Amino acid sequence: MSELAAVDAPTVADFARTFRRIQAEIHKVIIGHGQAVEEMLSALFAGGHVLIEGVPGTGKTTLVKTLGLAMNLSFNRIQFTVDLMPADITGTRVILTAEDGRREFTFQPGPVFCHILLGDEINRATPKTQSALLEAMAELQVTVAGVTHRLAPPYFVMATLNPIEMEGTYPLPEAQLDRFLFKVRLNYPDETELTRIITSTTGPEEAGVEAAFHADEAPARVEALKKLVRDVIAAPEMEHYAARIVRATQPQNSRYVADEARSVHDEMVNRYVMFGSSPRGAQALILGAKVRALLDGRANIAREDIDRVAIPALAHRIMLNYAAHSDGIDATHIVERVLKSVRAART
């Protein structure tokens, strides 16, 4: 495990400038998906992982690749299939013969050992294999044969989901879903974006991505920026606000989240939500809001920042019941409704 290079402490302006530069480099290749790219970068600097959901051909894999290139970080890709085994992800011990003829078990790192990991179509692997990512995502380490191996920071997992090919898939368990900071949706590009995609991808020249960092200092720069995000000040009111939103997504709490005078009353949550957001949702709200605050040149978060990241931070943590599916209600509707209720209760 290499030590991080010493870099100067970034400022708020440095953060915003770096963020915008990486964003611009990605958009040299990725046409459209501006919000998805911003949310993905926000999750990266907030120290979280991203679940990308989109129909085939919308540039999920290309997006992740481009991100790795733009940040000059090591990048691996795992194509999840039904026969993929956990050891294929984490690595395994193999018998190697030394020069002196001795044979010994040596740990062979899997693709999880990198800075940016793309788990393509993660829902095609079995839950056992999917769970192999849990420890790496949560604790930045993997344990193989009783030996724990640390992952080099920064570590960023981006998993893609194909929402239409559900046959032969294994929906991600809630525990694993909860470990993704954001869930980003990639929608179909509009006509203008599609025209630009055609122009840029069918021509003789391919768009080149210029790395924002030097390779030797890229991890340290990213970690410094991540630390800066953590330093953003969150006033107690903002933390209460985030907590109130999260509690409002929970059916048993949606009726009286605040005090009785400012209760959040939302029948929609009680009717359609089976399980609300976990406390990780509140953490995601605050961390995402901190990134938004830095991008705005502030050292404090505001309610607007929390509202802005509420859907990517909470939607995938809310488990809907059959009534919601039959009525065509998705988690985004629930989050929007909860935000509206909490805002109304606040005023």
Q: Which residues bind other proteins (CB under 8 A)?
A: 11-12, 231-233, 235-238, 293, 296-305
| Paired residues of 183 in beta bridges | 51
Q: Which is nearer to other proteins, 186 or 232 (CB)?
A: 232
Amino acid symbol at 214: H
Contact 313, 284 (CB under 8 A): yes
Report the alpha-carbon distance of residue 188 to residue 59 in Å, rounded.
10
What's the one-letter identity of residue 161? L
CB nearer to other proteins: give 115 or 308: 308
Residue nearer to other proteins on the CB measure, 216 or 304: 304
- Taking the complex as a whole, the smallest distance from the CB of residue 315 to other proteins amounts, in Å, to 24
CB of 275 to other proteins, least distance (A): 31
Nearer to other proteins, 232 or 314 (CB): 232
Which residue number, 186 or 294, has a Cβ lying nearer to other proteins? 294
By C-alpha distance, which of 344, 335, 343, 237 is closest to 286?
Answer: 237
99 CB-near residues (< 8 Å, 6+ apart):
none
What is the closest distance, in whole angstroms, from the C-beta atom of residue 153 to other proteins in the complex? Answer: 20
Q: Which of 18, 25, 50 is nearest to 315 (CA)?
A: 50
Q: CB 155 → other proteins: shortest distance, Å? A: 24
Q: Helical H runs in the chain?
A: 12-29, 34-45, 60-71, 86-90, 127-130, 132-139, 174-177, 191-202, 218-231, 236-248, 267-272, 279-295, 303-314, 322-326, 331-346
CA 69 to CA 46: how far, in whole Å? 19
Q: How far is the CB of 88 from other proteins (least distance, A)?
A: 42
Q: Give the residue from 242, 237, 236 showing the smallest Cα distance to 338.
A: 242
Q: Are the beta carbons of 52 and 36 closer than 8 angstroms?
A: yes
Task: Pick left, alpha or beta for residue 77 (phi over 0 → left; psi -120 to 50 → alpha; otherwise beta).
Answer: beta
Instruction: Say whether 119 sits in a helix, a strand or coil.
Output: strand
Cβ proximity to other proteins, 12 vs 207, nearer residue: 12
Q: Which of residues 11 and 141 has its CB atom nearest to other proteins in the complex?
A: 11
| Nearest to other proteins of 7, 302 (CB atom) | 302
- CB 314 to other proteins: min, Å: 21
* Residue with Cβ nearer other proteins (62 or 300): 300
Torsion of CA 16, 17, 23, 29, to 10 degrees: 180
246, two tokens? 């999260």
**Min dist. Cβ of residue 337 to other proteins (A):** 24
Give least dist CB 335 to other proteins, A: 21
- In the complex, the smallest distance separating the C-beta of residue 293 from other proteins, rounded to whole angstroms, is 8
Rounded to whole angstroms, the Cα distance separating 341 from 337 reads 6
